[in-house]
Amino acid sequence: MTDALGDEVLEAVNDAMVALHERHHGRKPATSRTHMTEDMLVCRLGGVYTEVEKTLIELEQTVTVQETRTVFQHAVERRFITAVEELTHRHVRRFVPVHHVGPDLEIDMFFLDR
């Protein structure tokens, strides 16, 4: 993806997503990277699961972990949207969080007005 915003803005969005993850999940993700095209911003976070979630995954409770994360993400989505809108000065039309267990990833997609 080509970056439609300056590196400083993308870094600020990345830092905001990491901070929100740390605030709501009690730890920072192991890796993070943010990309942007004309109308989409994507934050990729790796190593996101807590020790409790990792235990549930080991016990084959993957669906429970994914459902809990999805419900929680939608409950606090306004915080993620606000951070992106304030930093990019663009309106977020849709926020789509996706969680994956193998590998341990979270992808936060923000579809933006042009």
Q: Which amino acid belongs to residue 70?
A: T
pTM as predicted: 0.88
Domain borders along the chain are 38-114
Residue 2 confidence class, pLDDT cut points 50, 70, 90: very low
The long-range contacts involving 59-66, CB below 8 angstroms and separated by at least 24 positions, are 62/101, 65/99, 65/101, 66/99, 66/101
Residue 71 confidence class, pLDDT cut points 50, 70, 90: very high
**What does the pLDDT read at residue 103?**
86
